Amino acid sequence: MSTADLGLPVDVPSTALFTDQYELTMLQAALRAGTAERRSVFEVFTRRLPEGRRYGVVAGTGRVLDAVENFRFDEDVLRFLRERAIVGEDTLEWLAGYRFSGDIWGYPEGEVYFPGSPIMRVEGSFAECVLLETVILSILNHDSAIAAAASRMTSAAGDRPLIEMGARRTHELAAVAAARAAYVGGFASTSDLAAGFRYGIPTVGTSAHAFTLLHDRERDAFRAQVDSMGRGTTLLVDTYDVAEAVRTAVEVAGPELGAVRIDSGDLLLVAHRVRQQLDELGATGTRIIVTSDLDEYAIASLAAAPVDAYGVGTQLVTGSGHPTASMVYKLVARAASEDPKAPLVAVAKKSSGGKTSIGGRKWAARRLDAYGVAEAEVVGTGPVPAQLVDRQLLVELVKGGEVVAREPLDAVRERHIAARAGLPMSATQLSRGDAVIPTEYATEG
């Protein structure tokens, strides 16, 4: 299933230009030097988690598979590259026939990760793998940053549902991916219709202050909304005076009123007052939804308040202070020569400045303690120790160019909840700290 099958407004005919120019110039130089076909292994990993974070969340894998499948150089794209003289005719000819034919393994989407985790491994010729760097990183860096924030928020919210409503705070298509990543991280629904259309995520929405202001009286607005959407709707009660609005809301909708939304003020205080007022009015089943620059800390601080659901916007789509993960895509091994049977040689940048990488094609496992709780991320090259064979984290995603691991988003979401539950309890503390489990290296030689 390619994105093009879905007839959606986020279709792109090709993902081939979501690429830094240097991928193409490297390709050309390697083609001309005769090194382009050397078998190569690239890995996606991060050297560190965002400051203070205890774990990361892999998100975007499904979108990467779509992007790889749609990575083709059509006529329009080739004409652009020719006109700009970005590469020559020899390279353009090679690109015209491009189709990724290698293998991709990776952490399954929704899994947690740590510094050094080989989140994705791309294998094939240097030429076919190097081209995918930019788009793979764009997707994983963005989506994983959002999912990590979402996971902290859902953890802080406990059983209360979270609504993603940040579309207006980020690029209109990033918003669709953000709603998807939030769902992976445990959010219940989104305000973004495109995310509902594209990914089947439940969508919700009722009204804004503008709707109240459009009408001559707040009562007229509430009446119009209840007439249109029924008594189960959510009325926004903070346009003028909250207590007055709650009284009017229950008069108009009756005690069957579905919910009220509070979008400003001291939410803790206001929620308590509104709950008491609703109960006194007999609207004991009417829920309270709060929305107003919430983040995981604000959500946690409302744990004891009579709040039934949270709407989160800005802080979700901006990754709650960390809008991007710092994943990189590095060549870790390549064939010793152009001979297809040549052995792989581990390679790594050696220079100073904290950017040193560990070479070699890696496996990864999560070691558990006697109680079944994760105690270390073990990353290694060479043979897998027997006791870690059944704890391997990488799964096959693309085999010989064919996507082999599509899965429904609900399965991804459930995997994340399970993976998070398998971490030490301190993983979900909001206080700053190091990665909740260490990364150990089990390298050859």
Q: Does 252 bind its own copies (CB under 8 A)?
A: no
Binding of its own copies by 269 (CB under 8 A): no
Sole binder of its own copies in the list 20, 308, 375, 407 (CB under 8 A): 20
Q: Candidates 96-104, 116-124, 166-174, 403-411: pick the segment binding its own copies (CB under 8 A).
A: 166-174
Cβ-proximal residues to 253 (8 Å cutoff; 6+ apart), any chain? 222, 226, 231, 233, 235
In whole angstroms, what is the distance from residue 38 CA to residue 241 CA?
A: 70
Cα 333-334-336 angle, rounded to 5 deg: 125
Stretch that binds its own copies, among 113-121, 238-246, 275-283, 413-421 (CB under 8 A): 238-246
* Choices 26-34, 301-309, 414-422, 431-439; region in contact with its own copies by CB under 8 A: 26-34
> What token pair was written down for 245?
């609005």
47 binds its own copies (CB under 8 A): no
Alpha-carbon torsion angle 259, 265, 266, 270, nearest 10: -40
Question: DSSP for 283-350?
Answer: -TT-EEEEESS--HHHHHHTTTS---EEEE-HHHHTGGG--S--EEEEEEEEESSSSTTPPEEE----
Residue-wise burial string across 166-196, b where 16 or more C-beta atoms lie within 10 A, e elsewhere: bbeebeeebbbbbbbbbbbbbbbbbbbebbb
- 3-class state of residue 140 by DSSP: helix
- Interface with its own copies includes 22 (CB under 8 A)? yes
225 binds its own copies (CB under 8 A): yes
Considering only residues 398 through 437, tell me which ones interact with its own copies, judged by CB under 8 A.
none
User: Least distance in Å: CB of 434 to its own copies?
Assistant: 21
Residues 317-356 that bind its own copies (CB under 8 A): 317-318, 323-324, 326, 329-331, 334, 347-355
> Site mask, its own copies, residues 57-96, x = CB under 8 A?
----------x--------xx--xx--x-x----------
Measuring CA to CA, which residue among 71, 78, 86, 92 is closest to residue 134? 71
Amino acid, single-letter form, for residue 90: D
Q: Which of 4, 115, 161, 211 binds its own copies (CB under 8 A)?
A: 211
Q: Which 8-state DSSP code applies to residue 146?
A: H
* x/- letters, 123..152, toward its own copies (CB under 8 A): ---x---x--xxx-xxx-xxx---------
- Euclidean distance between the first and final Cα of the chain, in Å? 43
Q: Does the footprint of its own copies cover residue 301 (CB under 8 A)? A: no
Work out how close the CB of 332 gets to its own copies at its nearest, in angstroms, rounded to a whole number.
Answer: 9
Examine residue 277 and tell whether it contacts its own copies (CB under 8 A): no
Q: Is 196 in the site for its own copies (CB under 8 A)?
A: yes
Nearest residue (CB) to its own copies, 234 versus 428: 234
